[in-house]
Structure 1
């Protein structure tokens, strides 16, 4: 169908009859920001931008943060030779001078200033091959308008000869011809006339040193939303009789203020605050004084430079208070409230000594990173009582942190080689690499007038040479390493905050324990080795400060094996599930609010390559996840604990080791033994039921566990309650699963040929083997129940049977969920018609050595139409082809499953039901490897539901690279 026909159909559906049959991708659409549905105006804007041949915007207001969300994509367009124009204004002096400076950096975009009183337009127009796309409505080019605010925008499409686009184009050209070109000289003049407006957001000032602590002023300071919730949890903890509590709070979320609010509420007779650095201690003392109020002498320091024992609130460094001479100056009961900041360090002997000595009524620990790579269990120190936890993603959603724009950029490349972990130091500090670095930090910029940046390097020599070269090129930098004293570090931090220097270049020493609110640019010039360190370094810029609206994070990505940790760290996903991580790479939905994640195309491919190449199921990673959960809950975890703690996906364990018992044996964990029979039965239950793709299977097994039998009527009731439509067929399917009759001989052999149930009069009972296993071991029953709990928890991601859109299924899953009597996955190949169902499996990218007669050119023509080929040696008269052609959607259903390539494993994404477009069915042919023509049938399949929410990184045209169009979102 040509473009004109599709546009005609879209107009009829959009403006005449919404129920009309529509095969057009051009239907009008309302664009809004909907947090619950993960919809953003920005997603559509980037989608159209990436596909267009050219564009023009007419927007009154532009902010630096809004422009930042486009920078990576505009750079990619420049590489493709795509140019655009932006018409904006100085209306109400909303646009700051700096945003015009940022616009000048984008060399493939021409900008002009409209000299029209009241210029307030908001329109985005994209030129494609033979049509235009328009976005017109209420959204200016600001990050709030594109991602957060309640906005209405209409997306329309027009043929190039259409009157609507003619009017838009003419209006734009008329205004453009009279507008003023944006130049450096114009910006300088505007800078002199510009006056900051009241509408500019002013961040709340952070408290500094105060001379008086008026009680009235202190009581007027109220906790924020997170702090209120945490205070309630702390109070509930103490009411329950607990004497210890742990607060896990992302850097910059105000945990010191939270502690002060809790102390204000608790009213201790005497309090002790402990941390490892005096600079942090002084800041904490000021914060407490501000919140608690009272006389200045109530707040005292206990450090190497002076010890105040009489103060009500004592702030001590661990290095001083842990010494015997100082500990003995206090009675064990001297403090009824003790607080340890940065408590992840509390495994050190000095901390243990202090904790063992004092006997407070309540002990509070605070940290952003409780997980440890050593054997120290921070959770055990606090009796596993986590009072409250807020991680990075939650803190961003609650707007407790400064928003950030992350840019994953490609590291320096020479002669086709990119920086990797084996790169010589000479290449890391070459002049060409430094030029590349300077080019990127200039292009992506920073919020505010003056850059205050941190650059993290991997080696001291690299940091020193980099500083020298940057200084030679006009940047003002200093180097700080572990060899520098605390005084020197803080002297340079103060110089950075005061604008004396632009960058501090360092090697890891600023990962934690430092507060530099003014940092507005973080540059990661080293490979990511740890998600914790990545998050800590990112967190250096997330403090709110009046001098900035956002933080720019520039991550130089080379050929590093651990690049897969980047999406893991940014999303907080600890599942070790590659599919989950791939999806994180392509959707920004895991970063809430006005922050954004952006990858240059080459950098993105390097991260994907790292995901594909790494083994996330290696024992070291699984053991680390296991130990983290064990430390957190204080006992040997079950599989359900991993789900409840957002840790490794239990399927990653069972798919590798067969069942959880075998994994525990590999870990050499002390656990009750299972017999060979029990182990084999657990293997079958774990392998087939833990994925939770059919809820009624777990329901039937639960009933059997509780009653040792199940009547046919009860089984039917459980199946009906799950939403299954064909009760009888589903009952037969469940029976054949539990008797193992469903499985092929290799699977039956793998599972020991031991059925779980046998059929009796009016129902089913356990087999003798299952009865023996359940009677002989409570540990076996516990592990079986654990699998069923996981199945129910995982089933929450699935909707009404049989399939859920965009979830993944193997061929065996599909046979099972369609209630086929046997697993016929080995003979399905591309598709199979049976029992009134036809699942179609498509692998988009075939291996290079695939035989020509099966290298079908299946592809998506639009988000609703799939061009599809049958098997070879088929014609329209073939029986199986006739069954597909005449599928009516009721008695016969077609289901579409797609994956990008075989590297993704056995599972395919489910894209929905489809029906054949009969007028497109035709006989054609393809060549085999000998050049012989082989008959095949080609047709178009129409999806009942249009593919939704395509990602922001998309192909240039939907009919040129449809796989990228599709899989950039699916991943």
Structure 2
């Protein structure tokens, strides 16, 4: 408690008295703002405080449904822990909607009252953290835009429970609470009547991006995305190309984009091809709005409609691909052909049409160009990608409605989701009840649900539809067995409010436009991130009837759960550490007002799936490689993977030991490298150019092109690129790493076998001239074209990777806070002369000169490990860590004595932690620590044989641990519990 109290005093002193005070942590007063580029938002801090609170009090004037959505999952978890809170809000200016108050009533652990104070305009959040209180006061109301997007100023203060400031706030809150009116259904009914008298009439329905008078076609103008896409298409045409592909997220207006381009080109005849009749008439109506003209100019070729003479012909691929239909058209009949959902173009029916026609220009449009059937879609369009905007960019540009995603636990029996149950099985009633509770709790935007529920099987869709109808909902199941006419009718009923939900299996993944969708429910395990995004996209189109989309994902215990964060965050790197970090950061990784929320057990399932998944399966690596190869139209480089947001190319290095080896194998090429070049690439790629330090990569980059480089030029380059410090000791380390001595010597000692195939040196250093020089062996290797090309690519990747990490991680003397490092990386960055991994490092090791002691903690230890290594290492708080020495140690042991008297040696103690062994070989750098000398305590560890001596101590974090990572590491609960 004393150390905690001291930390509070230091935080207050630094924030309010002296900014040079050596303290950085949660007790320091903070200015809370929203900054997308820096991944900062008010919401994250509010949730962090909420999740660890023992109780809370909010006084907020303005609240929206979307604002409540950001907290619902966290409040539910707190409810399960017995944590309750109070909220005071208002009716000021009738900003708060009646439905919002109804949502507040659903929060079982939140007591709500309405202030009668005229002009109530408070924005304050108080959290009881046990012994101290956190307070957030400023400009932020409980709205999604205020919590994540708007320019807001809020001050976060921490006060001891006996502090005057918290006493003033709690006293004022209590006074207002006593004078406020409890929220009840009766109060809401009374308020609704008054609210409706004040409500402003709504404007006519039309996509938000088109705010002009659409009755006049010439007045409809493209949105921001469409302007850029039109420029891209025109640029392709100006190069003399006849084909182009547009990749655009669902809901961003691809059909209008195409119409704008057609309006500009004004072709003599246009052919618009779709794969389903359901969207044919809608597409034609959109074109007519943009282009105008006579009704006779537009025609349909589908079913019984055969308007083959129309200037603008809209056709289904099924009707057009028939031989008797296709032969009616000359190959040059259409000078502009548009193919919607172009990712389907590999099918035989599409190929017949494409092979038949010879238009002046052909445009393809799709949200998901990636294929799993081996078809090269990009080649079809001559690798001309005119424009590309994915889900993340579309959200950032406000082209789509924001969404609130909720990962919830599915109903299970003995660890299995109860799918395909008949009504004779009583457990289906339990699952239906579970589903109904989640649908009601997480709700939807608007007055009534317009939802799509994606099921795993046709039978499940039918059974659940019937069961949900028995509970009072209006639902229907639609599958591939239903006719097109019935599908269209059911969609109209859903839009018109005659149905609440349509339960379906895959048929609505794409090619369907229902702007009113305000709730997407996923009742099937995720098999593909592409399909996940397609189904999510069904509800992202803007519509006046909704402010946001609610996505409820019922997460069972499935091995493919790792695909969920890949889909949500748009991160195709398949880098486990990156996926974990995004989950820890939660909504900071998604643009705009959208949020990502997991109930606790569902979140644990995601983490477990990431831990268990083998991300280096050959079939997955080959698929991603082939997809990128098709996209760029050549054998891709490592930097191509980076540029196009694909898989982390280090996956291929780890799989094949070097990127070159993978290319040779997958392309069935001959390895042209000498043995020295091949082995050198392996060592450099795996151990030196992995992005953990830039110096080696930068030095090699310069010496690949020039035979020598002055040390001053090298230093200037380091400074220019905002890299780490540089000195003579670092220079020695860099040279030993570049010349592979750090790894080779250690390898020889361990194996007792020299490796003559490795070059003795890549780089020399001339002390007299202070110049780096390329070694003759390196010059010789660079004469091998494949070696030079691959090494240059690996160097570029290493520099880019380091720069990207520095954008989001705070540098701490060689390490980046909360970045992950292997033991080998750690000793390299600590400037050890040789790699000590041939020794038994254990949980820590002290350098010979006692300048540093690297501490490695496996936080949740396995039951199977030795009894003498089951150390009780744990965080006592974000500022304090309880740590055990190695077994058979006393206070007089040399290593313990050195650590206790660390100041005598100016010893640095960096702490590295991983949650458990399933996380692999890497550890989070948690920052440096200082032992509290008076905390050292010699004790006995009980074992089945005999007790062993051990020393327990408390380590003080120089930088208190970020709360989200702290919660992740310290949470001992498994999803199966």
TM-score, normalising length: structure 1: 0.91
Once the two structures are superposed, the pairs formed by residues 716-865 of structure 1 within 5 Å of their partners are: 723=723, 725-743=725-743, 747=747, 752-758=755-761, 762=766, 774-775=782-783, 777-799=784-806, 802-827=814-839, 828-829=841-842, 830-834=844-848, 836-865=851-880
- Residues 197-235 of structure 1: CA distance to partner in whole angstroms, max 9, x if unpaired? 6789979614999xx997xx2232221111111111112
Instruction: State the Cα distance separating 1:765 from its structure 2 match.
Output: 7.3
Q: Please tell me whether the aligned partners of residues 882 and 952 of structure 2 are also in contact (alpha carbons under 8 angstroms).
A: no
**Which 10-residue stretch deviates more, 933-942 or 116-125?**
933-942
2:506 equivalent to 1:508: yes
SS in 1 for 2:615: coil
SS in 2 for 1:78: helix
- Residues 130-156 of structure 1: CA distance to partner in whole angstroms, max 9, x if unpaired? 222222222121111111111122222
Q: Please tell me whether the aligned partners of residues 270 and 335 of structure 2 are also in contact (alpha carbons under 8 angstroms).
A: yes
Q: Please tell me whether the aligned partners of residues 249 and 368 of structure 1 are also in contact (alpha carbons under 8 angstroms).
A: yes
CA distance in 2, matches of 1:427, 1:653: 48
Instruction: State the Cα distance separating 1:793 from its structure 2 match.
Output: 2.2
Query: Residue 464 of structure 2 corresponds to which residue in structure 1?
Result: 466
Query: Residue 85 of structure 2 corresponds to which residue in structure 1?
Result: 84
Once the two structures are superposed, the pairs formed by residues 953-964 of structure 1 within 5 Å of their partners are: 955=967, 963-964=970-971
2:949 equivalent to 1:934: yes
2:926 equivalent to 1:911: yes
Q: Please tell me whether the aligned partners of residues 54 and 126 of structure 1 are also in contact (alpha carbons under 8 angstroms).
A: yes
- Residues 411-468 of structure 1: CA distance to partner in whole angstroms, max 9, x if unpaired? 1134x53428999998797111111111111111111111111111111111111111
SS in 1 for 2:362: strand
CA distance in 1, matches of 2:361, 2:635: 27
**Which 10-residue stretch deviates more, 352-361 or 560-569?**
352-361
Instruction: State the Cα distance separating 1:408 from its structure 2 match.
Output: 0.6
CA distance in 2, matches of 1:480, 1:967: 37
**Which 10-residue stretch deviates more, 331-340 or 385-394?**
331-340
Change (3 A) 1:524 1:932: same
SS in 2 for 1:911: strand
CA distance in 2, matches of 1:138, 1:761: 58
CA distance in 1, matches of 2:353, 2:140: 57
Change (3 A) 1:785 1:128: closer
Change (3 A) 1:506 1:317: same
Query: What is the RMSD computed on CA atoms of the aligned residues?
Result: 3.3
- Residues 913-950 of structure 1: CA distance to partner in whole angstroms, max 9, x if unpaired? 444455x453433425255352526243341x4444x3
Once the two structures are superposed, the pairs formed by residues 198-237 of structure 1 within 5 Å of their partners are: 205-206=206-207, 217-237=216-236
Change (3 A) 1:138 1:760: closer
SS in 1 for 2:741: coil
Query: Residue 480 of structure 1 corresponds to which residue in structure 2?
Result: 478
CA distance in 2, matches of 1:207, 1:141: 24
Instruction: State the Cα distance separating 1:892 from its structure 2 match.
Output: 4.8
SS in 1 for 2:909: strand
Query: Residue 118 of structure 1 corresponds to which residue in structure 2?
Result: 119
Query: Residue 285 of structure 2 corresponds to which residue in structure 1?
Result: 286
2:502 equivalent to 1:490: no
Query: Residue 958 of structure 1 corresponds to which residue in structure 2?
Result: none
- Residues 542-587 of structure 1: CA distance to partner in whole angstroms, max 9, x if unpaired? 1111111111111111111111111111111111211111122222
Once the two structures are superposed, the pairs formed by residues 502-651 of structure 1 within 5 Å of their partners are: 502-587=500-585, 588-651=587-650
Q: Please tell me whether the aligned partners of residues 209 and 399 of structure 2 are also in contact (alpha carbons under 8 angstroms).
A: no
SS in 2 for 1:300: strand
Q: Please tell me whether the aligned partners of residues 208 and 283 of structure 1 are also in contact (alpha carbons under 8 angstroms).
A: no
CA distance in 2, matches of 1:207, 1:756: 64
Q: Please tell me whether the aligned partners of residues 689 and 788 of structure 1 are also in contact (alpha carbons under 8 angstroms).
A: no
Instruction: State the Cα distance separating 1:708 from its structure 2 match.
Output: 6.0
Gaps of 5+ in 1: 956-960
Q: Please tell me whether the aligned partners of residues 676 and 758 of structure 2 are also in contact (alpha carbons under 8 angstroms).
A: no
- Residues 106-162 of structure 1: CA distance to partner in whole angstroms, max 9, x if unpaired? 122122222222222222122232222222222121111111111122222233333
- Residues 939-968 of structure 1: CA distance to partner in whole angstroms, max 9, x if unpaired? 43341x4444x32x975xxxxx97349999
Once the two structures are superposed, the pairs formed by residues 126-275 of structure 1 within 5 Å of their partners are: 126-195=127-196, 205-206=206-207, 217-275=216-274
Change (3 A) 1:55 1:569: same
- Residues 34-66 of structure 1: CA distance to partner in whole angstroms, max 9, x if unpaired? 222211111121111111112221222211111
Instruction: State the Cα distance separating 1:256 from its structure 2 match.
Output: 0.9
SS in 1 for 2:453: strand
2:385 equivalent to 1:371: no
CA distance in 1, matches of 2:654, 2:198: 59
SS in 2 for 1:562: helix
CA distance in 2, matches of 1:511, 1:429: 29
- Residues 701-736 of structure 1: CA distance to partner in whole angstroms, max 9, x if unpaired? 334434567788877777787745443323322332
SS in 2 for 1:797: helix
SS in 1 for 2:743: coil
Instruction: State the Cα distance separating 1:747 from its structure 2 match.
Output: 3.6
Gaps of 5+ in 2: none
TM-score, normalising length: structure 2: 0.91
SS in 1 for 2:911: strand
Q: Please tell me whether the aligned partners of residues 900 and 967 of structure 1 are also in contact (alpha carbons under 8 angstroms).
A: no
Change (3 A) 1:781 1:31: closer
CA distance in 1, matches of 2:793, 2:272: 42
CA distance in 2, matches of 1:724, 1:756: 28
SS in 2 for 1:194: helix
Q: Please tell me whether the aligned partners of residues 853 and 934 of structure 1 are also in contact (alpha carbons under 8 angstroms).
A: no
Q: Please tell me whether the aligned partners of residues 534 and 569 of structure 1 are also in contact (alpha carbons under 8 angstroms).
A: yes
Q: Please tell me whether the aligned partners of residues 757 and 764 of structure 1 are also in contact (alpha carbons under 8 angstroms).
A: no
CA distance in 2, matches of 1:268, 1:890: 80
- Residues 723-782 of structure 1: CA distance to partner in whole angstroms, max 9, x if unpaired? 45443323322332344321266745699453334387948877787666554x433333
Change (3 A) 1:817 1:172: closer
- Residues 486-534 of structure 1: CA distance to partner in whole angstroms, max 9, x if unpaired? 1110100000000011111111111111011111111111111111111
Instruction: State the Cα distance separating 1:657 from its structure 2 match.
Output: 1.9
Instruction: State the Cα distance separating 1:894 from its structure 2 match.
Output: 3.3
CA distance in 2, matches of 1:381, 1:398: 29
CA distance in 2, matches of 1:606, 1:455: 22
CA distance in 2, matches of 1:790, 1:471: 55
2:430 equivalent to 1:443: no
Instruction: State the Cα distance separating 1:873 from its structure 2 match.
Output: 5.2
CA distance in 2, matches of 1:697, 1:208: 49
Q: Please tell me whether the aligned partners of residues 297 and 312 of structure 2 are also in contact (alpha carbons under 8 angstroms).
A: yes
Change (3 A) 1:613 1:724: closer
SS in 2 for 1:102: helix
Query: Residue 326 of structure 2 corresponds to which residue in structure 1?
Result: 327
CA distance in 1, matches of 2:174, 2:765: 83
**Which 10-residue stretch deviates more, 106-115 or 189-198?**
189-198
Q: Please tell me whether the aligned partners of residues 272 and 337 of structure 1 are also in contact (alpha carbons under 8 angstroms).
A: yes
SS in 1 for 2:831: coil
Change (3 A) 1:207 1:889: same
- Residues 84-109 of structure 1: CA distance to partner in whole angstroms, max 9, x if unpaired? 12122222221111111111111221
